[in-house]
Structure 1
Amino acid sequence: MITNVVRGDKVIKFVDGKGLNLARVMTNVLKFRDYFCINILGGEVGKIIEYECKAEGINTKNFWIKDSNRINTALVYEYEKRMFMINEPGPLMSDEEVEEFKKFFKKNITGVSRLVVSGSAARGFDGKDLVEIIEFARNKGCRIEVDISGQWLKELIKVSPELLKINADELKVAFEIPKDDLKGMENFRRNYEIETLIITNGKDGSLTFSNEGVFNAKSNKIYSDFSVGSGDSFFAGLIYGLEKNLGLKESLKIATACGTANTLRYGAAIFDEKDLERVLPEVIVMEVQL
Protein backbone atom coordinates (compact mmCIF):
# COMPACT_ATOMS: atom_id res chain seq x y z
CA MET A 1 0.00 0.00 0.00
CA ILE A 2 1.31 3.46 -0.94
CA THR A 3 0.05 5.79 1.78
CA ASN A 4 0.29 9.06 -0.19
CA VAL A 5 -1.59 7.86 -3.29
CA VAL A 6 -5.38 8.10 -3.54
CA ARG A 7 -7.06 5.86 -6.10
CA GLY A 8 -10.75 6.50 -6.58
CA ASP A 9 -13.45 3.95 -7.38
CA LYS A 10 -15.56 6.48 -9.27
CA VAL A 11 -15.15 9.96 -10.70
CA ILE A 12 -18.06 12.41 -10.97
CA LYS A 13 -17.34 15.51 -13.06
CA PHE A 14 -19.65 18.51 -13.34
CA VAL A 15 -19.53 22.29 -13.60
CA ASP A 16 -19.82 23.75 -10.15
CA GLY A 17 -20.24 27.08 -8.39
CA LYS A 18 -23.00 28.35 -6.14
CA GLY A 19 -24.78 30.19 -8.95
CA LEU A 20 -24.52 27.26 -11.34
CA ASN A 21 -25.78 24.88 -8.65
CA LEU A 22 -28.81 27.11 -8.15
CA ALA A 23 -29.42 27.17 -11.89
CA ARG A 24 -29.06 23.38 -12.20
CA VAL A 25 -31.80 22.81 -9.62
CA MET A 26 -34.01 25.47 -11.21
CA THR A 27 -33.61 23.95 -14.67
CA ASN A 28 -33.46 20.21 -14.11
CA VAL A 29 -35.60 19.70 -11.01
CA LEU A 30 -38.03 22.62 -10.75
CA LYS A 31 -38.34 23.13 -14.54
CA PHE A 32 -38.01 26.89 -14.16
CA ARG A 33 -36.04 28.65 -16.90
CA ASP A 34 -36.95 32.32 -16.54
CA TYR A 35 -33.51 33.31 -15.21
CA PHE A 36 -29.90 33.69 -16.33
CA CYS A 37 -26.51 33.31 -14.63
CA ILE A 38 -23.71 35.77 -15.18
CA ASN A 39 -20.47 33.80 -15.50
CA ILE A 40 -16.93 35.15 -15.40
CA LEU A 41 -15.01 32.70 -17.59
CA GLY A 42 -11.46 32.26 -18.77
CA GLY A 43 -9.02 29.72 -20.22
CA GLU A 44 -9.67 26.12 -21.22
CA VAL A 45 -11.61 25.47 -18.02
CA GLY A 46 -13.87 28.40 -18.91
CA LYS A 47 -14.56 26.80 -22.27
CA ILE A 48 -15.52 23.56 -20.54
CA ILE A 49 -17.90 25.45 -18.23
CA GLU A 50 -19.51 27.20 -21.20
CA TYR A 51 -19.93 23.90 -23.06
CA GLU A 52 -21.36 22.01 -20.09
CA CYS A 53 -23.80 24.80 -19.25
CA LYS A 54 -25.16 24.66 -22.79
CA ALA A 55 -25.39 20.87 -22.60
CA GLU A 56 -27.39 21.05 -19.36
CA GLY A 57 -29.64 23.84 -20.59
CA ILE A 58 -28.39 26.33 -17.98
CA ASN A 59 -29.07 29.90 -19.13
CA THR A 60 -25.91 32.00 -18.96
CA LYS A 61 -24.42 35.30 -20.06
CA ASN A 62 -20.64 34.95 -20.12
CA PHE A 63 -17.95 37.58 -19.54
CA TRP A 64 -14.49 36.46 -20.62
CA ILE A 65 -11.18 37.28 -18.92
CA LYS A 66 -7.57 36.29 -19.62
CA ASP A 67 -6.96 34.14 -16.54
CA SER A 68 -8.40 30.63 -16.25
CA ASN A 69 -11.25 29.33 -14.11
CA ARG A 70 -10.37 26.88 -11.38
CA ILE A 71 -10.81 23.15 -10.89
CA ASN A 72 -11.88 21.96 -7.44
CA THR A 73 -11.53 18.37 -6.27
CA ALA A 74 -13.50 16.61 -3.54
CA LEU A 75 -12.20 13.27 -2.25
CA VAL A 76 -15.05 11.31 -0.65
CA TYR A 77 -14.08 8.54 1.77
CA GLU A 78 -17.46 6.83 1.68
CA TYR A 79 -17.00 4.22 4.39
CA GLU A 80 -15.34 6.68 6.75
CA LYS A 81 -18.10 9.25 6.10
CA ARG A 82 -15.67 12.08 5.51
CA MET A 83 -14.56 14.27 2.64
CA PHE A 84 -11.39 16.19 1.74
CA MET A 85 -11.67 19.30 -0.46
CA ILE A 86 -8.93 20.77 -2.65
CA ASN A 87 -9.88 24.24 -3.93
CA GLU A 88 -7.71 26.19 -6.35
CA PRO A 89 -7.54 29.97 -5.76
CA GLY A 90 -9.40 30.83 -8.95
CA PRO A 91 -8.82 33.46 -11.63
CA LEU A 92 -7.44 36.96 -11.09
CA MET A 93 -9.15 39.87 -12.83
CA SER A 94 -7.17 42.92 -13.91
CA ASP A 95 -8.41 46.43 -13.05
CA GLU A 96 -9.43 46.89 -16.68
CA GLU A 97 -11.41 43.63 -16.67
CA VAL A 98 -13.20 44.65 -13.47
CA GLU A 99 -14.34 47.92 -15.01
CA GLU A 100 -15.43 46.19 -18.22
CA PHE A 101 -17.35 43.61 -16.21
CA LYS A 102 -19.24 46.35 -14.38
CA LYS A 103 -20.36 47.74 -17.75
CA PHE A 104 -21.31 44.21 -18.89
CA PHE A 105 -23.34 43.66 -15.71
CA LYS A 106 -25.16 46.99 -15.90
CA LYS A 107 -26.05 46.37 -19.54
CA ASN A 108 -27.54 42.94 -18.83
CA ILE A 109 -29.40 43.70 -15.58
CA THR A 110 -32.05 45.85 -17.32
CA GLY A 111 -35.51 44.38 -16.81
CA VAL A 112 -34.43 41.97 -14.05
CA SER A 113 -36.71 41.84 -10.98
CA ARG A 114 -34.62 39.63 -8.68
CA LEU A 115 -30.82 39.69 -8.26
CA VAL A 116 -29.39 36.65 -6.49
CA VAL A 117 -25.85 37.09 -5.18
CA SER A 118 -24.43 33.69 -4.30
CA GLY A 119 -20.85 32.69 -3.57
CA SER A 120 -17.90 34.98 -4.19
CA ALA A 121 -16.31 36.77 -7.12
CA ALA A 122 -12.99 36.37 -8.88
CA ARG A 123 -9.89 37.79 -7.22
CA GLY A 124 -9.39 41.43 -8.10
CA PHE A 125 -13.12 42.13 -7.86
CA ASP A 126 -13.45 43.44 -4.30
CA GLY A 127 -16.26 44.32 -1.92
CA LYS A 128 -16.70 47.91 -3.07
CA ASP A 129 -17.04 46.70 -6.66
CA LEU A 130 -19.74 44.25 -5.62
CA VAL A 131 -21.60 46.89 -3.60
CA GLU A 132 -21.47 49.22 -6.63
CA ILE A 133 -23.22 46.80 -8.96
CA ILE A 134 -25.74 45.77 -6.29
CA GLU A 135 -26.67 49.38 -5.63
CA PHE A 136 -27.08 49.84 -9.39
CA ALA A 137 -29.43 46.83 -9.48
CA ARG A 138 -31.36 48.12 -6.46
CA ASN A 139 -31.87 51.46 -8.21
CA LYS A 140 -33.23 49.54 -11.21
CA GLY A 141 -35.90 47.98 -8.98
CA CYS A 142 -34.27 44.59 -8.25
CA ARG A 143 -34.87 42.66 -5.06
CA ILE A 144 -31.49 41.71 -3.58
CA GLU A 145 -31.22 38.13 -2.28
CA VAL A 146 -27.89 37.03 -0.86
CA ASP A 147 -26.09 33.80 0.09
CA ILE A 148 -22.54 34.83 0.88
CA SER A 149 -19.99 34.73 3.71
CA GLY A 150 -16.83 36.28 5.11
CA GLN A 151 -15.71 39.77 4.15
CA TRP A 152 -18.15 39.80 1.25
CA LEU A 153 -21.03 39.42 3.71
CA LYS A 154 -19.79 42.27 5.89
CA GLU A 155 -19.80 44.54 2.84
CA LEU A 156 -23.16 43.44 1.44
CA ILE A 157 -25.01 43.64 4.73
CA LYS A 158 -24.63 47.42 4.47
CA VAL A 159 -27.07 47.54 1.53
CA SER A 160 -29.79 45.76 3.58
CA PRO A 161 -30.68 42.90 1.20
CA GLU A 162 -34.34 41.89 1.13
CA LEU A 163 -33.31 38.30 1.78
CA LEU A 164 -30.17 36.94 3.44
CA LYS A 165 -29.37 33.24 3.79
CA ILE A 166 -26.37 32.41 5.96
CA ASN A 167 -24.94 29.33 7.64
CA ALA A 168 -25.12 29.36 11.46
CA ASP A 169 -21.35 28.92 11.76
CA GLU A 170 -20.71 31.78 9.35
CA LEU A 171 -23.10 34.02 11.30
CA LYS A 172 -21.15 33.37 14.49
CA VAL A 173 -17.79 34.02 12.85
CA ALA A 174 -18.89 37.22 11.10
CA PHE A 175 -21.19 38.72 13.75
CA GLU A 176 -20.58 36.72 16.95
CA ILE A 177 -24.19 35.53 17.20
CA PRO A 178 -24.37 31.96 18.64
CA LYS A 179 -26.58 29.25 17.12
CA ASP A 180 -29.03 29.30 20.04
CA ASP A 181 -29.41 33.10 20.28
CA LEU A 182 -32.73 33.52 18.49
CA LYS A 183 -33.37 36.98 19.89
CA GLY A 184 -29.90 38.05 18.76
CA MET A 185 -30.72 36.82 15.25
CA GLU A 186 -34.00 38.74 15.18
CA ASN A 187 -32.27 41.89 16.45
CA PHE A 188 -29.63 41.45 13.76
CA ARG A 189 -32.38 41.25 11.11
CA ARG A 190 -34.09 44.37 12.38
CA ASN A 191 -30.89 46.37 12.84
CA TYR A 192 -29.86 45.76 9.22
CA GLU A 193 -33.43 46.14 7.91
CA ILE A 194 -33.48 42.67 6.32
CA GLU A 195 -36.93 41.54 5.22
CA THR A 196 -36.20 37.80 5.53
CA LEU A 197 -33.23 36.27 7.37
CA ILE A 198 -32.60 32.53 7.03
CA ILE A 199 -30.05 30.72 9.20
CA THR A 200 -29.20 27.20 8.00
CA ASN A 201 -27.74 24.64 10.38
CA GLY A 202 -27.19 21.33 8.58
CA LYS A 203 -29.22 18.40 9.91
CA ASP A 204 -31.03 20.71 12.34
CA GLY A 205 -32.68 22.47 9.43
CA SER A 206 -33.13 26.21 9.18
CA LEU A 207 -34.52 29.14 11.14
CA THR A 208 -36.31 31.90 9.25
CA PHE A 209 -36.92 35.34 10.74
CA SER A 210 -39.41 37.58 8.98
CA ASN A 211 -42.27 39.99 9.54
CA GLU A 212 -44.58 36.95 9.23
CA GLY A 213 -42.94 35.28 12.21
CA VAL A 214 -40.12 32.86 13.03
CA PHE A 215 -40.13 29.39 11.44
CA ASN A 216 -38.09 26.22 11.82
CA ALA A 217 -37.96 24.02 8.70
CA LYS A 218 -36.32 20.62 8.68
CA SER A 219 -36.59 17.07 7.38
CA ASN A 220 -37.67 14.33 9.78
CA LYS A 221 -35.37 11.90 7.99
CA ILE A 222 -31.64 12.22 7.30
CA TYR A 223 -30.60 10.27 4.23
CA SER A 224 -26.81 10.68 4.13
CA ASP A 225 -23.87 12.76 5.39
CA PHE A 226 -22.95 14.03 1.92
CA SER A 227 -24.12 17.63 1.89
CA VAL A 228 -21.96 19.46 -0.67
CA GLY A 229 -24.38 21.67 -2.60
CA SER A 230 -27.27 21.27 -0.14
CA GLY A 231 -27.19 24.96 0.81
CA ASP A 232 -27.29 25.95 -2.86
CA SER A 233 -30.12 23.50 -3.53
CA PHE A 234 -32.03 24.89 -0.54
CA PHE A 235 -31.61 28.42 -1.88
CA ALA A 236 -32.81 27.39 -5.33
CA GLY A 237 -36.00 25.87 -3.90
CA LEU A 238 -36.61 28.95 -1.78
CA ILE A 239 -36.18 31.41 -4.63
CA TYR A 240 -38.39 29.27 -6.87
CA GLY A 241 -41.18 29.23 -4.28
CA LEU A 242 -40.99 32.97 -3.71
CA GLU A 243 -40.87 33.68 -7.45
CA LYS A 244 -44.01 31.55 -7.88
CA ASN A 245 -45.73 33.43 -5.01
CA LEU A 246 -46.22 30.22 -3.01
CA GLY A 247 -45.78 32.00 0.32
CA LEU A 248 -42.92 31.83 2.78
CA LYS A 249 -43.87 28.59 4.57
CA GLU A 250 -44.47 26.63 1.36
CA SER A 251 -41.27 28.05 -0.14
CA LEU A 252 -39.34 26.91 2.94
CA LYS A 253 -40.83 23.42 2.57
CA ILE A 254 -39.67 23.18 -1.05
CA ALA A 255 -36.28 24.64 -0.12
CA THR A 256 -35.74 22.13 2.68
CA ALA A 257 -36.79 19.24 0.44
CA CYS A 258 -34.29 20.39 -2.23
CA GLY A 259 -31.50 20.59 0.34
CA THR A 260 -32.35 17.12 1.63
CA ALA A 261 -32.72 15.57 -1.84
CA ASN A 262 -29.24 16.82 -2.66
CA THR A 263 -27.80 14.40 -0.08
CA LEU A 264 -29.15 11.38 -1.99
CA ARG A 265 -26.37 11.56 -4.62
CA TYR A 266 -22.70 12.46 -4.75
CA GLY A 267 -22.22 15.79 -6.49
CA ALA A 268 -23.76 19.20 -5.99
CA ALA A 269 -27.33 19.78 -7.17
CA ILE A 270 -27.57 16.72 -9.42
CA PHE A 271 -30.69 15.15 -7.91
CA ASP A 272 -33.92 14.88 -9.91
CA GLU A 273 -37.70 15.34 -9.57
CA LYS A 274 -38.22 11.83 -8.17
CA ASP A 275 -35.65 12.49 -5.44
CA LEU A 276 -37.49 15.69 -4.52
CA GLU A 277 -40.87 13.93 -4.43
CA ARG A 278 -39.35 11.19 -2.24
CA VAL A 279 -38.20 13.54 0.53
CA LEU A 280 -40.92 16.21 0.39
CA PRO A 281 -43.35 14.35 2.74
CA GLU A 282 -40.63 14.25 5.43
CA VAL A 283 -40.34 18.06 5.64
CA ILE A 284 -42.03 19.98 8.44
CA VAL A 285 -42.26 23.76 8.92
CA MET A 286 -43.17 24.95 12.43
CA GLU A 287 -43.61 28.42 13.90
CA VAL A 288 -41.22 29.27 16.72
CA GLN A 289 -41.90 31.62 19.61
CA LEU A 290 -39.07 33.94 20.64
Structure 2
Amino acid sequence: MSVQILNLNPCYDHWVIISNVPKTPNVLRGDYVVKLVDGKGLNIARVFNLLGFHDYLCINVLGGDVGKIISSKCREENIKTAEFWINDENRINTAVVYEYEKRMLMVNEPGPVMTPDEIERFIQYLDSVIEEKSTLVISGSAPRGFEAKHMSRIAQMVKERGCRLMIDISGEWLRKLVKFEPEMVKVNADEFKMAFELSNLSVEKLYEVKKRYKINVLCVTLGKDGSITLTEDRVFHAKPKLVHCDFSVGSGDSFFAGYLYKEAMGKSMEERLIFATACGMANTLKYGAAIFDLKDLNEQLPLVEIAEERL
Protein backbone atom coordinates (compact mmCIF):
# COMPACT_ATOMS: atom_id res chain seq x y z
CA MET A 1 0.00 0.00 0.00
CA SER A 2 1.58 3.26 -1.14
CA VAL A 3 0.82 6.07 1.32
CA GLN A 4 1.14 9.72 0.36
CA ILE A 5 0.95 12.17 3.25
CA LEU A 6 -0.13 15.75 2.67
CA ASN A 7 1.75 17.93 5.17
CA LEU A 8 0.66 21.43 4.26
CA ASN A 9 1.90 23.32 7.31
CA PRO A 10 5.24 21.90 8.52
CA CYS A 11 7.23 23.60 11.25
CA TYR A 12 10.49 23.50 13.15
CA ASP A 13 9.98 22.89 16.85
CA HIS A 14 12.04 23.83 19.89
CA TRP A 15 11.18 22.11 23.17
CA VAL A 16 12.87 24.08 25.97
CA ILE A 17 13.08 21.90 29.08
CA ILE A 18 13.24 23.71 32.45
CA SER A 19 14.12 21.17 35.12
CA ASN A 20 14.10 23.37 38.25
CA VAL A 21 12.34 26.43 39.60
CA PRO A 22 13.88 29.53 37.93
CA LYS A 23 16.16 31.54 40.25
CA THR A 24 15.41 34.84 38.50
CA PRO A 25 11.78 35.99 38.31
CA ASN A 26 10.42 36.38 34.76
CA VAL A 27 13.55 34.87 33.21
CA LEU A 28 13.41 31.27 32.01
CA ARG A 29 16.69 29.50 31.27
CA GLY A 30 16.36 26.11 29.65
CA ASP A 31 18.39 23.16 30.93
CA TYR A 32 18.31 21.52 27.52
CA VAL A 33 16.52 21.80 24.19
CA VAL A 34 14.93 19.23 21.90
CA LYS A 35 14.80 20.34 18.25
CA LEU A 36 12.81 18.55 15.56
CA VAL A 37 10.83 19.00 12.38
CA ASP A 38 7.12 18.78 13.07
CA GLY A 39 3.68 18.90 11.52
CA LYS A 40 1.16 16.08 11.72
CA GLY A 41 2.22 14.55 8.42
CA LEU A 42 5.92 14.63 9.26
CA ASN A 43 5.18 12.97 12.58
CA ILE A 44 3.45 10.11 10.76
CA ALA A 45 6.45 9.78 8.45
CA ARG A 46 8.86 9.70 11.41
CA VAL A 47 6.95 6.81 12.99
CA PHE A 48 6.84 5.00 9.64
CA ASN A 49 10.64 5.19 9.52
CA LEU A 50 10.92 3.81 13.05
CA LEU A 51 8.69 0.88 12.09
CA GLY A 52 10.64 0.16 8.93
CA PHE A 53 7.78 1.11 6.60
CA HIS A 54 9.11 3.05 3.61
CA ASP A 55 6.34 2.85 1.01
CA TYR A 56 5.31 6.44 1.68
CA LEU A 57 5.95 10.00 0.53
CA CYS A 58 5.49 13.06 2.74
CA ILE A 59 4.55 16.11 0.64
CA ASN A 60 5.72 19.30 2.38
CA VAL A 61 4.95 22.96 1.64
CA LEU A 62 8.16 24.82 2.45
CA GLY A 63 9.31 28.42 2.42
CA GLY A 64 12.13 30.69 3.54
CA ASP A 65 15.11 29.91 5.76
CA VAL A 66 12.98 27.83 8.14
CA GLY A 67 11.86 25.78 5.15
CA LYS A 68 15.50 25.14 4.30
CA ILE A 69 16.10 23.91 7.85
CA ILE A 70 13.08 21.59 7.64
CA SER A 71 14.29 20.24 4.29
CA SER A 72 17.78 19.61 5.68
CA LYS A 73 16.52 17.93 8.85
CA CYS A 74 14.19 15.67 6.85
CA ARG A 75 17.22 14.48 4.86
CA GLU A 76 19.13 13.87 8.10
CA GLU A 77 16.27 11.69 9.37
CA ASN A 78 15.90 9.95 5.99
CA ILE A 79 12.27 11.06 5.80
CA LYS A 80 11.05 10.57 2.24
CA THR A 81 9.68 13.91 1.06
CA ALA A 82 8.48 15.83 -1.94
CA GLU A 83 8.79 19.61 -1.60
CA PHE A 84 6.73 22.48 -2.93
CA TRP A 85 8.30 25.87 -2.28
CA ILE A 86 6.48 29.12 -1.53
CA ASN A 87 7.75 32.65 -0.84
CA ASP A 88 6.62 33.04 2.76
CA GLU A 89 8.42 31.58 5.76
CA ASN A 90 7.55 28.35 7.57
CA ARG A 91 6.81 28.59 11.27
CA ILE A 92 8.93 27.92 14.34
CA ASN A 93 6.97 26.59 17.33
CA THR A 94 8.22 26.58 20.91
CA ALA A 95 7.24 24.27 23.74
CA VAL A 96 8.25 25.40 27.23
CA VAL A 97 8.29 22.35 29.49
CA TYR A 98 8.16 23.12 33.21
CA GLU A 99 9.50 19.73 34.21
CA TYR A 100 9.41 20.49 37.94
CA GLU A 101 5.65 21.15 37.70
CA LYS A 102 4.82 18.47 35.12
CA ARG A 103 3.25 20.97 32.75
CA MET A 104 4.04 22.60 29.43
CA LEU A 105 3.14 25.63 27.33
CA MET A 106 2.98 25.45 23.52
CA VAL A 107 3.57 28.65 21.52
CA ASN A 108 2.70 28.23 17.84
CA GLU A 109 3.56 30.86 15.24
CA PRO A 110 0.82 31.74 12.72
CA GLY A 111 2.79 30.28 9.85
CA PRO A 112 3.09 31.33 6.20
CA VAL A 113 0.54 32.73 3.80
CA MET A 114 0.05 30.99 0.44
CA THR A 115 -0.92 33.30 -2.42
CA PRO A 116 -3.72 32.33 -4.84
CA ASP A 117 -1.12 31.67 -7.53
CA GLU A 118 0.91 29.41 -5.21
CA ILE A 119 -2.22 27.46 -4.30
CA GLU A 120 -3.09 26.89 -7.96
CA ARG A 121 0.44 25.79 -8.76
CA PHE A 122 0.45 23.49 -5.73
CA ILE A 123 -2.74 21.75 -6.83
CA GLN A 124 -1.21 21.28 -10.28
CA TYR A 125 1.93 19.92 -8.61
CA LEU A 126 -0.13 17.40 -6.65
CA ASP A 127 -1.73 16.31 -9.90
CA SER A 128 1.73 15.23 -11.08
CA VAL A 129 2.77 13.59 -7.79
CA ILE A 130 -0.21 11.63 -6.49
CA GLU A 131 -0.25 8.02 -7.62
CA GLU A 132 -3.42 6.35 -8.83
CA LYS A 133 -5.11 3.93 -6.43
CA SER A 134 -2.80 4.93 -3.58
CA THR A 135 -3.76 6.12 -0.10
CA LEU A 136 -3.72 9.87 0.49
CA VAL A 137 -3.50 10.98 4.13
CA ILE A 138 -4.49 14.60 4.75
CA SER A 139 -3.23 15.43 8.21
CA GLY A 140 -3.04 18.72 10.03
CA SER A 141 -3.68 22.37 9.29
CA ALA A 142 -2.88 24.40 6.18
CA PRO A 143 -1.14 27.74 5.59
CA ARG A 144 -3.19 30.88 5.70
CA GLY A 145 -4.89 31.53 2.39
CA PHE A 146 -5.47 27.82 1.81
CA GLU A 147 -9.21 27.35 2.21
CA ALA A 148 -11.68 24.49 2.55
CA LYS A 149 -12.63 24.86 -1.11
CA HIS A 150 -9.02 24.08 -2.08
CA MET A 151 -9.09 20.99 0.11
CA SER A 152 -12.24 19.94 -1.69
CA ARG A 153 -10.55 20.23 -5.08
CA ILE A 154 -7.72 18.00 -3.87
CA ALA A 155 -10.17 15.47 -2.45
CA GLN A 156 -12.13 15.40 -5.70
CA MET A 157 -8.94 14.87 -7.68
CA VAL A 158 -7.74 11.94 -5.59
CA LYS A 159 -11.15 10.27 -5.56
CA GLU A 160 -11.26 10.45 -9.36
CA ARG A 161 -7.93 8.62 -9.38
CA GLY A 162 -9.32 5.79 -7.30
CA CYS A 163 -7.29 6.78 -4.23
CA ARG A 164 -8.37 6.07 -0.68
CA LEU A 165 -8.79 9.24 1.38
CA MET A 166 -7.83 9.18 5.07
CA ILE A 167 -8.06 12.37 7.09
CA ASP A 168 -7.04 13.87 10.43
CA ILE A 169 -8.12 17.49 10.25
CA SER A 170 -10.50 19.87 12.02
CA GLY A 171 -13.09 22.57 11.54
CA GLU A 172 -14.45 23.57 8.14
CA TRP A 173 -11.84 21.43 6.37
CA LEU A 174 -13.19 18.34 8.14
CA ARG A 175 -16.79 19.22 7.28
CA LYS A 176 -15.81 19.61 3.62
CA LEU A 177 -13.68 16.49 3.32
CA VAL A 178 -16.18 14.07 4.86
CA LYS A 179 -18.44 14.75 1.88
CA PHE A 180 -15.99 12.75 -0.26
CA GLU A 181 -16.74 9.47 1.53
CA PRO A 182 -13.32 9.01 3.17
CA GLU A 183 -11.95 5.58 3.92
CA MET A 184 -11.09 6.74 7.43
CA VAL A 185 -11.56 9.76 9.65
CA LYS A 186 -9.24 9.91 12.67
CA VAL A 187 -9.85 12.99 14.78
CA ASN A 188 -9.72 13.92 18.45
CA ALA A 189 -12.90 14.25 20.45
CA ASP A 190 -12.93 18.04 20.89
CA GLU A 191 -12.34 18.68 17.19
CA PHE A 192 -15.06 16.19 16.24
CA LYS A 193 -17.63 17.73 18.58
CA MET A 194 -16.87 21.24 17.33
CA ALA A 195 -16.97 20.29 13.66
CA PHE A 196 -20.34 18.57 13.90
CA GLU A 197 -21.81 20.62 16.77
CA LEU A 198 -22.26 17.63 19.05
CA SER A 199 -22.82 17.88 22.79
CA ASN A 200 -21.72 14.30 23.42
CA LEU A 201 -19.96 11.42 21.67
CA SER A 202 -22.41 8.60 22.18
CA VAL A 203 -22.12 5.61 19.87
CA GLU A 204 -25.48 6.62 18.39
CA LYS A 205 -24.26 10.12 17.52
CA LEU A 206 -21.01 8.81 16.04
CA TYR A 207 -22.83 6.21 13.98
CA GLU A 208 -25.20 8.87 12.68
CA VAL A 209 -22.27 10.95 11.34
CA LYS A 210 -20.52 7.86 9.99
CA LYS A 211 -23.62 6.73 8.11
CA ARG A 212 -24.52 10.19 6.82
CA TYR A 213 -21.12 10.69 5.16
CA LYS A 214 -20.44 7.04 4.26
CA ILE A 215 -17.21 6.97 6.29
CA ASN A 216 -15.80 3.45 6.26
CA VAL A 217 -13.85 3.72 9.54
CA LEU A 218 -14.52 6.47 12.06
CA CYS A 219 -12.01 6.76 14.91
CA VAL A 220 -12.31 9.40 17.64
CA THR A 221 -9.37 9.67 20.03
CA LEU A 222 -10.12 10.52 23.67
CA GLY A 223 -6.71 11.37 25.13
CA LYS A 224 -6.05 9.42 28.33
CA ASP A 225 -9.26 7.47 27.76
CA GLY A 226 -8.03 5.92 24.52
CA SER A 227 -10.27 5.85 21.46
CA ILE A 228 -13.59 4.71 20.08
CA THR A 229 -13.69 3.29 16.55
CA LEU A 230 -16.71 2.42 14.44
CA THR A 231 -16.48 0.05 11.48
CA GLU A 232 -19.30 -1.35 9.33
CA ASP A 233 -20.88 -3.36 12.15
CA ARG A 234 -18.55 -3.10 15.15
CA VAL A 235 -17.55 -0.64 17.85
CA PHE A 236 -14.06 -0.92 19.35
CA HIS A 237 -12.98 0.74 22.59
CA ALA A 238 -9.19 0.84 23.03
CA LYS A 239 -7.73 2.26 26.25
CA PRO A 240 -4.33 2.42 27.94
CA LYS A 241 -4.13 0.68 31.31
CA LEU A 242 -1.39 3.10 32.38
CA VAL A 243 -1.02 6.81 31.59
CA HIS A 244 2.59 7.92 31.94
CA CYS A 245 2.39 11.72 31.70
CA ASP A 246 0.50 14.68 30.27
CA PHE A 247 3.07 15.47 27.55
CA SER A 248 1.00 14.05 24.72
CA VAL A 249 1.91 16.32 21.78
CA GLY A 250 2.19 14.01 18.77
CA SER A 251 0.38 11.07 20.35
CA GLY A 252 -2.54 11.34 17.93
CA ASP A 253 -0.14 11.36 14.98
CA SER A 254 1.76 8.39 16.40
CA PHE A 255 -1.56 6.57 16.87
CA PHE A 256 -2.54 7.25 13.25
CA ALA A 257 0.86 6.09 11.96
CA GLY A 258 0.61 2.85 13.94
CA TYR A 259 -2.87 2.22 12.57
CA LEU A 260 -1.79 2.86 8.97
CA TYR A 261 1.23 0.61 9.37
CA LYS A 262 -0.78 -2.34 10.68
CA GLU A 263 -3.43 -1.79 8.03
CA ALA A 264 -0.72 -1.98 5.37
CA MET A 265 0.37 -5.28 6.93
CA GLY A 266 -3.19 -6.61 6.50
CA LYS A 267 -3.83 -6.95 10.25
CA SER A 268 -7.25 -7.11 11.89
CA MET A 269 -8.97 -4.05 13.29
CA GLU A 270 -8.26 -5.21 16.83
CA GLU A 271 -4.54 -5.61 16.07
CA ARG A 272 -4.41 -2.20 14.40
CA LEU A 273 -5.99 -0.43 17.35
CA ILE A 274 -3.85 -2.16 19.99
CA PHE A 275 -0.71 -1.26 18.08
CA ALA A 276 -1.89 2.30 17.35
CA THR A 277 -2.74 2.88 21.01
CA ALA A 278 0.67 1.59 22.08
CA CYS A 279 2.33 4.01 19.64
CA GLY A 280 0.39 6.90 21.17
CA MET A 281 1.38 5.77 24.67
CA ALA A 282 5.05 5.37 23.73
CA ASN A 283 5.04 8.93 22.41
CA THR A 284 4.46 10.28 25.94
CA LEU A 285 7.68 8.75 27.26
CA LYS A 286 10.06 11.25 25.64
CA TYR A 287 9.94 14.95 24.82
CA GLY A 288 9.08 15.83 21.25
CA ALA A 289 6.36 14.72 18.86
CA ALA A 290 6.57 11.14 17.51
CA ILE A 291 9.85 10.58 19.36
CA PHE A 292 10.11 7.07 20.80
CA ASP A 293 11.88 3.80 20.07
CA LEU A 294 10.86 0.19 19.52
CA LYS A 295 11.67 -0.73 23.12
CA ASP A 296 9.22 1.93 24.33
CA LEU A 297 6.60 0.64 21.91
CA ASN A 298 6.97 -3.03 22.78
CA GLU A 299 6.66 -2.29 26.50
CA GLN A 300 3.31 -0.55 25.90
CA LEU A 301 1.66 -3.28 23.84
CA PRO A 302 0.59 -5.43 26.85
CA LEU A 303 -0.81 -2.29 28.52
CA VAL A 304 -3.63 -1.75 26.03
CA GLU A 305 -7.18 -2.86 26.82
CA ILE A 306 -9.61 -3.39 23.97
CA ALA A 307 -13.30 -4.23 23.93
CA GLU A 308 -15.57 -4.93 20.99
CA GLU A 309 -19.33 -4.81 20.55
CA ARG A 310 -21.79 -5.04 17.68
CA LEU A 311 -23.42 -1.92 16.30
Relative to the length of structure 2, the TM-score reads: 0.90
Aligned runs of 1:167-178 on 2, under 5 Å? Answer: 167-178=188-199
Is 1:51 the counterpart of 2:72? The answer is yes
1:18 to 40, 45, 52: 40
Deviations 1:44-97 (A, max 9, x none): 100010011011010000001111100000111122222111111111111111
The alpha carbon displacement at 1:2 in A equals 4.0
Structure 2: distance between partners of 1:257 and 1:177? 28
Structure 1: distance between partners of 2:98 and 2:171? 28
Local SS of the residue matching 2:284: helix
Aligned residue identity for 1:95: P
Structure 1: distance between partners of 2:87 and 2:285? 37
Structure 1: distance between partners of 2:91 and 2:232? 40
Point out where structure 2 has 5 or more consecutive residues left out of the alignment: 1-22
Deviations 1:217-239 (A, max 9, x none): 11111122110000000000011
Quote the residue 1:156 is aligned against. Answer: 177
Contact kept? 1:168, 1:179, Cα under 8 Å = no
Aligned residue identity for 1:209: L
Local SS of the residue matching 2:292: coil
Quote the residue 2:26 is aligned against. Answer: 4
Which one is further off, 57-66 or 238-247?
Answer: 238-247
Aligned residue identity for 1:4: N
The alpha carbon displacement at 1:170 in A equals 1.3
Is 1:27 the counterpart of 2:31? The answer is no
Q: CA RMSD in A?
A: 1.3
Quote the residue 1:139 is aligned against. Answer: 160
Point out where structure 1 has 5 or more consecutive residues left out of the alignment: none
The alpha carbon displacement at 1:276 in A equals 0.5
Local SS of the residue matching 2:220: strand
Quote the residue 1:269 is aligned against. Answer: 290
Q: Identity of counterpart residues, as a percentage?
A: 53
Aligned runs of 1:92-111 on 2, under 5 Å? Answer: 92-111=113-132
Structure 2: distance between partners of 1:180 and 1:46? 39
4+ residue segments displaced more than 4 Å: none
The alpha carbon displacement at 1:121 in A equals 1.4
Is 1:200 the counterpart of 2:214? The answer is no
Aligned residues: 289
Aligned residue identity for 2:255: F
The alpha carbon displacement at 1:156 in A equals 1.2
Structure 2: distance between partners of 1:11 and 1:156? 37
Relative to the length of structure 1, the TM-score reads: 0.96
Aligned residue identity for 1:134: A
Structure 1: distance between partners of 2:201 and 2:126? 39
Aligned residue identity for 2:248: S
Contact kept? 2:168, 2:185, Cα under 8 Å = yes
Contact kept? 2:233, 2:310, Cα under 8 Å = no
The alpha carbon displacement at 1:243 in A equals 1.4
